[in-house]
Amino acid sequence: MNLTSITVRRLTLEMRTPFTTSFGTQTHRDLLIVEAHDDAGTVGYGECVAGAEPTYSEEATSTCEVALAEYILPRLQNADVNHPEDISRLLAPIKRNNMAKASIEGAVWDLWAKQQGISLAEALKGTKSRVDVGLSIGIKPTDAELIEAVGDAVNAGYRRIKIKIAPGRDLDMMRAVRREFPETPIMVDANSAYTLNDRDLFTALDDLDLMMIEQPLGHDDIVDHRHLQAAIRTPICLDESIHSVDDARKALELGSGKIINIKIGRVGGIAEALKIEKLCRNAGVDAWCGGMLETGIGRAHNVAIASLAGFTLPGDTAPSARYWHEDIISPEVTMNDGQIEVPTTPGLGYEVKTSMLEELTTRKFTVEL
């Protein structure tokens, strides 16, 4: 691929509205953008989806920055990279650090697709020209505010509404929402805030006909989830617990859930995400593309992979305007009738605004390969 250098940029982007989950409230993204350069001056872009703090998983922006600088990028120096799939092989000796690994792998995929003159979706063998979009709504202080937000999302055309829950903001709140929106495809995401002692809560949620309950129990658990799934009708969807295709295989074998949320960053990159897509497709298990409040760069990767047939349900790929005053790509990601068109131009299919990126960058480093 004639890779010549990798640049890692750190930047902060203010969110349009704060986003609250069971692990806290976020008002900014503090993130890394990774650039992969070749000898023809072509640049591929990747985004590190870790949060500012290690609250969703053990990774955070700073740990990823260090992992890239000290352990990950040195392994790519003088290495033979002929295809993006070589990256996961070269990085395999490094355990976990999945979001850090995925950020450079994503940049190399974008670069490779651009070198081939094909879209990233085509490079990944995506088959859909449009992807269905769902919205993730954070925890609101009152039911009235939540109901207003759900109404706005329904009017905007989102094809599935996900609502964050946490102890104290769960059953009564969701009953109120269901009363207002009896027919809307609704799901909840607990971000691992509960234990098996909360079983009664989940059997009560069964009455609300939710599409699924995402990650109700421990972030690293697949055993308690198995017991909970056996006790409820509503499908459990696993997010935090799945870091690889082997994790997905074991969880499905145990019956720990019936649906998989596939996030490129959480599983260590596109190559691993493709394996999970294939596993689910062959097993007839529903899967969908999760989100991590990405900028347009990460969203574009998500839209490309969501175009594969195994992504059977709407993903958390809300358009740019949902989170950002101004996105770092052009054109911005837009949604029509609850769908995003999958770009057909080379690579991500969006132009990165390089001057905006440079202005936002608070520090950067480059590794020559």
The residues of the shown chain that bind ligand OSB, judged by CB under 6 A, are: 56, 136, 189, 191, 239, 290-293, 316, 318
Residue among 105 and 239 whose Cβ is closer to ligand OSB: 239
Site for Mg ion in 82-141 (CB under 5 A): none
What is the nearest approach in angstroms of Mg ion to the Cβ of residue 270? 19
What is the nearest approach in angstroms of Mg ion to the Cβ of residue 192? 9
What is the nearest approach in angstroms of ligand OSB to the Cβ of residue 215? 7
Residue among 73 and 238 whose Cβ is closer to ligand OSB: 238
The residue nearest Mg ion at its CB is 239
316 binds, among ligand OSB, Mg ion, none (CB under 5 to 8 A by kind): ligand OSB
What is the nearest approach in angstroms of ligand OSB to the Cβ of residue 70? 25
What is the nearest approach in angstroms of Mg ion to the Cβ of residue 103? 19
Residue 69: CB atoms within 10 A of its CB come to: 14
Is residue 164 among the annotated active site residues? Answer: yes
The annotation status of 172 as a binding-site residue, yes or no, is no
Q: Does 316 bind Mg ion (CB under 5 A)?
A: no
293 binds, among Mg ion, ligand OSB, none (CB under 5 to 8 A by kind): ligand OSB
Judge whether 357 and 33 are in contact, CB under 8 Å. yes
**Which among 125-133, 163-171, 206-214, 331-339 is the span making contact with Mg ion, rule CB under 5 A?**
206-214
Q: How far apart are CA 369 and CA 363, in angstroms?
A: 20
What is the nearest approach in angstroms of ligand OSB to the Cβ of residue 212? 12
**Which among 46-54, 81-89, 183-191, 336-344 is the span making contact with Mg ion, rule CB under 5 A?**
183-191
Residue among 207 and 326 whose Cβ is closer to ligand OSB: 326
Q: Does 38 bind Mg ion (CB under 5 A)?
A: no
Q: How far apart are CA 289 and CA 178, in angstroms?
A: 24
The annotation status of 200 as a binding-site residue, yes or no, is no
The annotation status of 351 as a binding-site residue, yes or no, is no
Residue among 122 and 214 whose Cβ is closer to Mg ion: 214
170 binds, among ligand OSB, Mg ion, none (CB under 5 to 8 A by kind): none
Of 35, 170, 239, 294, the residue at the interface with Mg ion (CB under 5 A) is 239
Burial 180-206 (b: 16+ CB within 10 A, else e): ebeebbbbbbbbbbbebebbebbeebe
Of 189, 272, 277, 327, the residue at the interface with Mg ion (CB under 5 A) is 189
Query: In a 10 Å sphere around its CB, with 0-12 CB exposed, 13-18 middle and 19+ buried, how is residue 305 labelled?
Result: buried
State the number of binding residues for Mg ion (CB under 5 A). Answer: 3
Is residue 125 among the annotated active site residues? Answer: no
Which residues does the annotation mark as catalytic?
164, 263
- Which residue positions form the known binding site for Mg(2+)? 189, 214, 239
Give residues in contact with Mg ion (CB under 5 A).
Answer: 189, 214, 239
- Which residue positions form the known binding site? 189, 214, 239
